[in-house]
Amino acid sequence: MVLAVAGGVVIYAYTMGYLGGLGGSNTPGTLSLDAATCNTTHIVAYVRNIGSKVVNVSAAYVNNAPATLYRNQDVRIAVGSVGTVIINGTYTVGATYQVRLVCDDNTRLDFSVKCES
């Protein structure tokens, strides 16, 4: 009987944790790229939130390397709005960069941008 109760408690705790991670506030949002530009010092992306909840862009990666957001500030994008995400860095004219934006709820947006000026 002790074993049955202990087993039940373990399964209960595991299930609760699993279900807690599935839904609710942990479900990622949806982002879409409107347009993006690149110059030698910045990548500017116009990002649309087409999901059902507010997202907060908190990290950026350029060619898989961590990059810094403008003023090190997160970019909050309301539902149905377009946010301007500026990524600092040194970029080469003519090169194409793979960019990944990550929000604090694990929403991601991948795109590439060619540096033109």
Sites of contact with other proteins (CB under 8 A):
1, 5, 8, 12, 15-16, 19-20, 22-24, 27, 30, 32, 34-37, 46, 48, 50-52, 80, 82
Provide DSSP, 44-97: EEEEEE-SSS-EEEEEEEETTEEEPBGGG--EEE-TT-EEEEEEE----TT-EE
| C-alpha angle 66-114-58 in degrees, rounded to nearest 5 | 30
User: CB of 72: closest distance to other proteins in angstroms?
Assistant: 24
Nearer to other proteins, 25 or 90 (CB): 25
User: CB of 98: closest distance to other proteins in angstroms?
Assistant: 17
Nearer to other proteins, 7 or 66 (CB): 7
User: CB of 66: closest distance to other proteins in angstroms?
Assistant: 24
Q: Which residue has the tokens 């990059």?
A: 67
